[in-house]
Amino acid sequence: MRLLVARCSATYDGRLSSTLTSAVRLIMVKADGCVAVHADVGAYKPLNWMNAPNSLRAEEDRWVVTNPKGEVLTIELEEVFEDVSFALDTERGLTLDGVEKELQALLAEHPTHLEDGLTCIQREFRTDLGPVDLLCRDAEGAAVAVEVKRIGEIDGVEQLTRYLERLERDPLLRPVRGVLAATVVKPQARVLAESRGIDWVEIDLGRLRGEEDHHLRLF
């Protein structure tokens, strides 16, 4: 990861246009190519960002980030205070808790709750960006990558999009279809998923738990 603290301004040209006026900000460049511009407020959401895949052209006083859709983020660097790089682990390193962990385990055992004919091949299938929750095959034998969330939001769609881009590089898997599974999928996430050809499924956890109980029953 590269971290740049600088006085800068930024413009974004794409589906919409936006402008950031000059201020001191943190610019992050991650191993997968994601670029994010942060202010000193808020827990996680950047002021402006470009998700992978994209390309970064770094000049002395300007960074230009472009992606295959033709969107462009231009960062004008006025004064750089700090520029450091660190080699970080690309794994999520996150242990799932509660509902999300239970959902993943139950869906691995009962993937037909996602769609008829679906078979789970592997949990936590590794990519160079981290593990996909479930790698499955559908009734026709095509690969399906499933990302499991307690609440399905835009971030989950973006995460699955990155995984799909990596999985598509494997000739033994492609083409790979994506499914976002959650107890609730927010409207914005539905729209974004559908625009990217990703399916979404809302899971009735009570029903899924009941099937697991029935599966374990002796009599």
What integer is the mean pLDDT of 4-26? 91
Task: Quote the tokens at residue 28.
Answer: 């992050």
Note whether 6 and 79 are within 8 A (CB).
Answer: yes
Comparing 2-85 with 98-216, is the CATH topology the same?
Answer: no
The strand pairing partners of 32, in sequence order, are none
Distance CA(127)–CA(161), nearest Å, equals 13
Concatenate the DSSP letters of all residues of 90-113 into one string.
-S------HHHHHHHHHHHH-GGG
Distance CA(205)–CA(93), nearest Å, equals 25
Can you give the residue ranges of every domain in the chain? 2-85, 98-216
How confident is the model over 39-90, as pLDDT tens digits? 988 766 788 888 878 889 988 899 999 988 889 999 999 999 999 998 776 5
| Whole-number pLDDT of residue 98 | 62
Note whether 54 and 47 are within 8 A (CB).
Answer: no
Nearest Cα neighbor of 29 from 62, 63, 79, 60 is: 63
Q: Name the 3-class secondary structure at 202.
A: strand
Fold of 98-216: Trna Endonuclease; Chain: A, domain 1 (3.40.1350)
Tell me the CATH number for domain 2-85.
Answer: 2.70.180.20
Nearest Cα neighbor of 73 from 38, 46, 35, 40 is: 35
How confident is the model over 106-154, as pLDDT tens digits? 899 999 989 999 999 999 898 888 889 999 999 999 999 999 998 999 9
Distance CA(99)–CA(102), nearest Å, equals 5
Distance CA(144)–CA(128), nearest Å, equals 18
Distance CA(78)–CA(22), nearest Å, equals 8
